[in-house]
Amino acid sequence: MLNLKFDENVCTTCPTGDCLVKCQYMDVDKDTAIEEMLKISRGEDSFVFNDCVTCYGCEEYCKRGNHPFYLITEKREEKGLLTSPRAVTRQWINIGEPQGKYRLGKVKEKLLAFGFMPEFLRWVKGRLFEDVMPSFAFGQEFFCNVVYIHFANTSIIKERLPIIVDNYKKLGVKEVVFIHDECYGAFTHLAPAYGIEVPFKSTHYYEYLYGRLQELKDEIRPLNIKVAYQRPCSSRLSADKHHYLADIMKLIGVDLVEREYQDENALCCGGIFSMCFGYGLADDVQKRNIADMEEHGAEYCVFNCPACQSALGEKIAKRGIKPVHMIDLCRMAIGEK
């Protein structure tokens, strides 16, 4: 059984309680934050179980590496406090079950990992990826399963993630470029939290894109547009790579507008909220988020996660803001879109 690395002493001596104090969806002071996290660690009841909207934020806010969100999720599951109806949860778990259905490209030591989001098969093309394609893996056999944290199901992740790691290992790859932060976070953040050894280098695709754009910088034509960025919840698991967003925008001549809901203050897309917590919360968060983009003059909204783009893309387009995925934005800068 894989055990989470959570240390009560780290929590007790925390000077800020930022894991809950900074939460966008709860109003908690430092003393209450520490008290509630200790109660959760000891298996006691806490209002946090009802109020947590699974935004991943506390994983980023805790600078001491104590994994508050994973703990909340584990204890929720132990208590049977699922975040959505059991039928919906089971349906999602079945969707991601490894069943031997997958696609492999011409596998080399360096590999692109698409999880099982078909959008990436359409987006990942052209000069940005010519140094690694067609070396790729796609399908449930290579899917990180981290999405089930939203459904209070860490057990399914702990069961499947070691198998997925082994599947990559069997390919003989030395480096995997993950085209989704949730997958990157699975192997660099969640796996270490549970003591799962990952025998290859994991690379976030923002870091990869920045490197490729540097190599193609003579072909870049500044876009001179104002964009807002929709930061996905899973980006909280790769906060150390978030700086590549600004680095890339500067490189391709994009003005990343300063707005209220960005960086650590980012609001979720609301997509998972509608499934787990009802349309009221989703609608409120989306309205505030889109209004914030409008107020700061964004012409485009740049997406990282296809699920975020699906949840918000049509709504922001109706407000005159153009939705675009980060890969397509970079392709625009080198004249491919």
DSSP annotation string for 226-237? EEEEE--GGGGG
How many CA atoms lie less than 13 Å away from 59 in the CB half-sphere? Answer: 25
Mean pLDDT of 39-44: 96
Share of the chain above pLDDT 90, in %: 86
Is the pLDDT score of 214 beyond 90?
A: yes
Is the pLDDT score of 121 beyond 90?
A: no
- Pick the more confident residue, 271 or 23: 23
Q: Are 105 and 122 in contact (CB under 8 A)?
A: no
Which amino acid makes up residue 254? V
pLDDT of residue 337: 79
User: Domain 217-333 falls in which CATH fold?
Assistant: Rossmann fold (3.40.50)
Is the pLDDT score of 118 beyond 90?
A: no
Is the pLDDT score of 15 beyond 90?
A: yes
Query: Domain ranges in the chain?
Result: 8-78, 87-208, 217-333
Longest dimension (CA), the chain: 59
Mean pLDDT of 250-256: 98
pLDDT of residue 75: 96
Task: Count Cβ atoms below 10 Å from residue 330 Cβ, excluding itself.
Answer: 27
| Coil/strand/helix, residue 114 | coil
Q: How confident is the model at residue 273 (pLDDT cuts 50, 70, 90)?
A: confident
Is the pLDDT score of 275 beyond 80?
A: no
> Could you tell me whether strands 254-256 and 201-204 are parallel, antiparallel, or unpaired per DSSP bridges?
unpaired
**Whole-angstrom distance, CA of residue 129 vs CA of residue 115:** 17
pLDDT of residue 280: 85
**Predicted TM-score (pTM) of this structure:** 0.94
**Whole-angstrom distance, CA of residue 83 vs CA of residue 49:** 9
pLDDT of residue 112: 96
Q: List, for residues 136-147, the tens digit of each pLDDT value.
A: 999 999 999 999
Tokens of 269: 């897309």
- The mean of the pLDDT values for the chain is 94
Mean pLDDT of 82-89: 86
